[in-house]
Amino acid sequence: MKKILALACTIAMAGTMFVTANAGEELLKIGYVQVGHESDWRMANTQNYYDVFTEEAGFELELIDCDNDHARQLTEVRNFIAKDFDYIVIDPIQSAGWDNVLKEVQDAGIPCIIADRSVDASDDLYTTAVGTDMTAEGVTAGQWLAEYLAGEGAKILVIEGSTGSSAAIGRSEGFNQVAAEHPEWEIIDSQDGDFTQNGGQQVMESFIKTYGADGFDVVVCHNDNEAYGAMDAMDAAGIKYGVGEKIIISFDATNEGLTRTLNGQILCDVECNPIQAVIVMNVIKALQNGEEVEKFTLVPDEGFCAPGIESEIVTTMTDEVLAGRKY
Ligand code: GZL
């Protein structure tokens, strides 16, 4: 059922579009099947949806935290179908296993937006997607490392994100593309840290046990929380990291991640922007107005490195860069 989004007025403020619903008009029911609460990135993404999809803006948002459980996501999508939601937004924990339920959403005539992570399904099965380019993020990390090592060899350990997630798949793919151009590098191990600090610590502890303090030079962590866990494990083992020590590369560039980049603990942190709700809202408004929308809307991001490191690939961190960040 298509409702005309109640717009009393649209106020463009500082690049963010706010809409105000007419009093008494029906709200657009938005169902968001969220990955979980595994990381700082995820919490920022969830909060952003609550900040944007408000009743004042004409929406009734139901956001379900599926706690990293793919089966739960499928169940909750089917619940949104049964409750005849106006839009269903899905952030897929894993890329595989979505064809059937996306077909059910489509058959129910409900527009479906894939947000943040991606699905291994034909894009005919959903209305549109919004997200970052995770492969490009991996390439940026690899290119920065090549710039920093300047031809020097390195033994590399990888703490991956959740197995089967497009974020882990893309970042590995991108980094490995660059690594293939550097035979002087050796990726000696790669294990799943599930995007959590605890997961990062456990994997790093096992790496230290297996390879010893002298058995590696670089640790690539697929998100900031895993990097914090890796630091916990290295601290406990008396292993130093930073400029001239072990190299930690991370992803997400959250405020804490960039703080640890600014103080030289993380040498390179590649952003993945969680502030995506306004983009999703604008796509919904366009669809409500009967406009055509692109099949994919890219959320731009960039990389950062520690002070004292010159780079053509990423931005060198300063207090001003950190002060200018929105999350
Ligand atoms: C990436 C996002 C990932 C973050 C992690 O777009 O899906 O999931 O990199 C989060 O921090 O857990």
Residue 299 lies in a domain: no
**Cα 147–chain centre separation:** 25
Residue in the block written with tokens 């990390």: 141
User: Does the pLDDT of residue 114 top 60, yes or no?
Assistant: yes
Answer yes or no: do 171 and 316 share one domain. yes
Cβ of residue 252 lying under 6 Å from some atom of ligand 1: yes
Ligand 1 binding pocket mutation candidate from 33, 140, 252 (most atoms within 8 A of CB): 252
Q: What is the pLDDT of residues 87-100, one digit of tens each?
A: 999 999 999 999 99
pTM equals 0.92
Q: Quick check: is 2 in a domain?
A: no
Q: Are residues 46 and 141 in the same domain?
A: no
**CA–centroid distance, residue 87 to ligand 1 (Å):** 23
Mean pLDDT in the chain?
Answer: 93
* Residue located via tokens 């990888």: 158
Q: Is the C-beta atom of 228 inside 6 A of ligand 1?
A: no
What is the mean pLDDT of the segment spanning 103-132?
98
b/e per residue 194-210 (b: at least 16 CB within 10 A): bbbbebbbbbbbebbee
- Residue 150 placed within a domain: yes
Mean pLDDT, range 301-320, rounded to an integer:
97
Q: Give the per-residue pLDDT at 235.
A: 98
Percent of the chain with pLDDT over 90: 91
- 128 & 139 share domain: no
**Closest to 251 (Cα-Cα) out of 100, 144, 102:** 144
Asked whether residue 1 is domain-assigned, the answer is no
Rounded to the nearest 5°, which phi and psi values hold at 75? -60, -45
> Which of 35, 37, 38, 39 for mutating ligand 1's site (highest number of atoms within 8 Å of CB)?
39
Which DSSP letter does residue 123 get? G
CATH number of the domain bearing residue 122 = 3.40.50.2300
Asked if the structure places residue 121 within a domain, the reply is yes
Quickly tell me which residue has 């000696």 as its tokens. 188
Beta strands in 85-217 (DSSP E): 87-90, 112-115, 128-131, 154-160, 185-192
Q: 171 CB under 6 A from ligand 1? A: no
Range(s) of the domain holding residue 255: 134-271+304-323
Whether 3 is in a domain gets the answer no
Q: Is residue 244 part of a domain?
A: yes
- Count how many domains the chain has: 2
